[in-house]
Amino acid sequence: MSQQATARRAVIFTGGSLGPWSLSLARPDDYLIGADKGAYYLIQNGIAPHLALGDFDSVDADALAKIRAAAAETSEYDAVDKDWSDTELALREALSRGYRDIVIAGGLGSRFDHSLANVQLLAVAAQAGAAALLVDEHNEIRLLTGDGRLAADDRYPYVSLLPLSTEVTGVTLTGFAYPLVEATLRHGMSLGISNLLTGEEGFISLRSGSLLVIRSRD
User: What are the tens digits of pLDDT across the range 170-189?
Assistant: 999 999 999 999 999 999 99
Nearest to 199 by CA among 153, 161, 162, 155: 153
Residues pairing with 54 in the sheet: 76
pTM of the model: 0.92
What is the structure's pLDDT at 2? 47
Give yes or no for a contact between 3 and 99, defined as CB atoms under 8 angstroms apart: no
When pLDDT is cut at 50, 70 and 90, the band that residue 1 belongs to is: very low
User: Can you list the domains of the chain with their CATH numbers?
Assistant: 3-137 (3.40.50.10240), 144-216 (2.60.120.320)
Give yes or no for a contact between 149 and 205, defined as CB atoms under 8 angstroms apart: no
Q: Which one has a higher pLDDT value, 15 or 42?
A: 42
**Rounded CA separation 78/61 (Å):** 15
Q: How far is CA 147 from CA 90, 116, 195, in A?
A: 27, 24, 17
Task: Calculate mean pLDDT across residues 97-115.
Answer: 91
Per residue in 40-73, pLDDT tens?
Answer: 999 999 999 999 999 999 999 999 999 999 999 9
